[in-house]
C-alpha cells in the first residue's frame, strides 16, 4: 500500500483528519514524566490519550536532536506504529544528492517526511523515489515570515508558492507527494486547491489560530489530507491537578479538534 | 569575539580558507576504523590529518541523525574545538518560532550553522539573534536542481537568489550572517559579490567540480570566507594500502586545496 492509501484507510477507521504534533518541548513537560527519557515517557502517554482521534502523529525533528532525543523518537515511532497510526517526521529537510539519500534513510522507520523545496528537484528525488512513503513539500507556511519569499511574484501571474505547488504536481510520478500549506492564510489555501489536486498537510489550526473550516474545505484532496495541531493538543493539560487530569485534557483536546473539523468534512 | 572575527583569526593563523566537510558516509568508511562509534573514530583521524590546513570543519547533520551519530558529532565538535578550529554545523534548518529556537540550541556547542531561507525572516531570527555565532543562509546552491526555484525571475530585474541575498544583508543586524553560494555557477558568485558584502561559504569545489578561482575571488569579503570540500578531502585515501597511507593522502588533499586556493587570495 502507498502512504496516501494507508492514510485514507486510517482516516476512515478513526473518522478523523487530525494530525497530532509531537513537539515535547523540554521546558513544558509536566513534572510527573519519568526522568529516564522524559520525551518518550511523555509521548507514550500522549499517544495513549489521543490515538483514537489521530489520523497521524507528526513529531518535529527539532525536539529530538540529541542522543537521548533520537532514542525517544525511535521508541515513539515504534509505539505509534504498534497502535496502527502513521507517523510523519516533520524534518523539513533538503540537501544535495548523497546527503539527501542519507536523510532519506530516516524514512525507513517513519511513513512520511516533510521536505524543503528551496534546493530544487534533485534534493527531493531520494524521497520521491520511495514510492511507498509519503513526502510533504513546504509550500505556503503558516508563520509570519512565510510571505517574505513564498509570496514573491514570479513571472506574470504567479506567486512563488503557487509555482512550487505546480512544479511539485509535475514531479509527483509516484502519487506520494503532498504539500504543507498553513491554515493562517485561508485564501491562499483556496487558491492552491484550485491549482493542484495534491493532499495538503495543514498546520496552524491550534496555537497559531488558523481557520479550521478552510483547512478542511481546501486541505483535503478527495477526502485525504491532514490538519495538524501540536501545542494545542499535547499541552492541553497544563494547569490541571494531576497526571490523569492532564492526559484526560489532552485526549479531550484531540477529540474536540476532530469533532470541529468533522463539521466541515 | 564574534564568529567572523574568530574565523578571520583562524584564516590568518593557518593561512587557509579551506572548510573540511565531515560527511562520514557509513558506506565509504575504511575498514580499519574502530567499530565503536566509527564516525567519531574516522573524524578524529581526519582532524589529526587536516587541522593545520583547516579554517573550519563543516559536519553535515544528515550523517549524524541517529543515537550513535549524535554522540559521534558531539565528540567531533569537542575535538575540533580542542584543536582551535571553528565548527560550522551544516544543518540547513529553518522552522517556525518555538521550533527554530529549539534548533538554535544546537548552536551551544558549535560556532555557526547553515539555515534555509524559504520560510522567511522569523525562522532565521533565533539564529541571527545569537550575535556571537555565525549563520550561513542558503542562497544559490551548487546542485543541479539549484536553479529550479532559486533562479526564478522575481520582480523586473532580479533572480530569487539575488533577492534572498539582499534581504539577508538587510537582516544582518549583528554582522553574523553569511551566504552559501555554490562554486558551480561562477558568474552567479560574481553577481552576488557585486550585490552584497557578506562572507560566503562556497561548496562544490571538490567532487562537484566547481571553479576554485571564482570561489576565492568572489567568495571572500575583505578576506573572510570559506571554500568547502568534503568527499574530495576525507575520502582522498581510498585505494591506499594502509591506515597511515590513507590519512596521509587525506592530509595531502587538504594541503593541496589550501595551496590551490591561496594562489588566488
d(CA A251, CA A64): 23
**pTM for the full model?**
0.95
Q: How many domains are there within chain B?
A: 1
Is residue A1 situated within a structural domain? no
Is the Cβ–Cβ distance between B106 and B134 less than 8 Å? no
- Among candidates A71, A103, A118 on the partner chain, residue whose Cβ is nearest the Cβ of B117: A118
pLDDT in 10s for each residue of chain A, 265 residues: 899 999 999 999 999 999 999 999 999 999 988 888 999 999 999 999 999 999 999 999 989 888 788 899 999 999 999 999 999 999 998 877 777 777 777 778 899 999 999 999 999 998 999 999 999 999 999 899 999 999 999 987 899 999 999 999 999 999 999 999 998 888 999 999 999 999 999 998 876 667 899 999 999 999 999 999 999 999 999 999 999 999 999 999 999 999 999 999 9
Question: The domain that contains B32 carries what CATH number?
Answer: 3.20.20.70
Residue showing cell 504534533:
A21
Residue with cell 544546537: B106
CB contact under 8 A, B154 and A150: no
Q: What is the ipTM score, two decimals?
A: 0.93
Cβ contact B95:A92 at 8 Å: yes
Beta-carbon contacts of residue B114 (< 8 Å; ≥ 6 apart): B88, B89, B90, B91, B92, B93, B135, B136, B137, B138, B180, B201
Which residues in chain B are closer than 8 Å to A149, comparing Cβ atoms? 117-118, 120, 160, 163-164, 167
Q: Touching check for B122 and chain A: CB below 8 Å?
A: yes
Q: Distance between CA atoms of B243 and B49, rounded to whole angstroms?
A: 12
Contact A113, A93 (CB under 8 A): yes
- A31-90 residues touching B, CB cutoff 8 A: 60-63, 65-71, 74
Cβ neighbours of residue B148 closer than 8 Å, sequence gap 6 or more: A117, A120, A121, A167
Asked if the C-beta of B158 comes within 8 angstroms of chain A's C-beta atoms, the answer is no
User: Where does the pLDDT of residue B104 fall: very low under 50, low under 70, confident under 90, or very high at 90 and above?
Assistant: confident
- Listed by number, the residues of chain A in 126-145 with a beta carbon closer than 8 Å to a beta carbon of chain B are 138, 141-145
- How close A244 gets to chain B, by Cα (Å)? 27
Closest alpha carbon within chain B to A119:
B146
Q: Which domain holds residue B169?
A: 3-262
- Within-domain flag for A2: no
Q: What is the distance between the alpha carbons of residues B135 and A122, in angstroms, rounded to a whole number?
A: 24
pLDDT digits (tens, 9 = 90+) for B162-199: 999 999 999 999 999 999 999 888 899 999 999 999 99
Closest CA to B113 of B138, B78, B95: B138
CA distance A264 to chain B (A): 27
Distance to chain B for A71, nearest Cα, Å: 6
- Examine residue A236 and state whether it is found in any structural domain, yes or no: yes
Q: Which residue in chain A has the smallest CA separation from B148?
A: A120
Domain assignment present for residue A49? The answer is: yes
pLDDT digits (tens, 9 = 90+) for A45-85: 999 999 999 999 999 998 988 878 889 999 999 999 999 99
- DSSP β-ladder status, B153-154 and B158-159: antiparallel
Question: Which residue of B75, B96, B156 is the best one to mutate when testing the A interface, meaning the one whose CB has the most A CBs within 10 A?
Answer: B96
User: How many beta-carbon pairs below 8 A join chains A and B?
Assistant: 164
Amino acid at each position: 500500500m502507498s502512504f496516501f492509501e494507508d492514510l485514507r484507510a486510517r482516516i476512515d477507521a478513526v473518522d478523523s483528519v487530525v494530525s497530532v504534533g509531537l513537539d515535547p518541548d523540554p521546558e513544558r513537560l509536566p513534572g510527573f514524566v519519568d526522568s529516564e527519557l522524559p520525551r518518550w515517557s511523555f509521548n507514550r502517554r500522549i499517544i495513549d490519550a489521543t490515538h483514537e482521534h489521530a489520523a497521524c502523529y507528526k513529531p518535529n525533528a527539532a525536539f529530538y536532536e540529541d542522543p537521548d532525543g533520537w532514542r525517544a523518537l525511535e521508541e515513539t515511532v515504534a509505539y505509534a506504529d504498534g497502535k496502527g497510526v502513521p507517523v510523519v517526521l516533520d524534518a523539513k529537510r533538503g540537501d544535495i544528492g548523497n546527503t539527501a539519500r542519507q536523510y532519506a534513510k530516516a524514512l525507513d522507520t517513519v511513513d512520511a517526511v516533510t521536505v524543503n523545496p528551496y534546493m530544487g528537484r534533485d534534493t527531493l528525488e531520494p524521497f520521491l523515489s520511495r514510492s511507498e512513503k509519503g513526502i510533504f513539500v513546504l509550500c505556503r507556511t503558516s508563520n509570519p515570515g512565510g510571505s517574505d519569499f513564498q509570496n514573491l511574484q514570479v513571472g506574470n501571474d504567479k506567486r512563488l508558492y503557487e509555482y512550487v505547488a505546480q512544479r511539485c504536481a509535475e514531479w509527483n510520478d509516484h502519487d506520494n507527494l503532498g504539500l504543507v500549506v498553513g491554515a493562517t492564510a485561508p485564501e491562499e489555501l483556496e487558491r492552491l486547491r484550485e491549482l493542484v489536486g495534491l493532499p495538503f498537510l495543514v498546520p496552524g489550526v491550534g496555537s497559531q489560530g488558523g481557520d479550521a473550516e478552510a483547512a478542511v474545505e481546501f486541505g483535503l484532496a478527495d477526502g485525504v489530507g491532514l490538519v495538524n495541531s501540536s501545542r494545542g493538543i499535547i499541552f492541553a493539560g497544563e494547569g490541571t491537578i494531576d497526571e490523569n487530569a492532564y492526559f484526560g485534557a489532552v485526549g479531550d483536546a484531540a477529540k474536540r479538534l476532530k469533532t470541529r473539523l468533522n463539521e466541515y468534512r
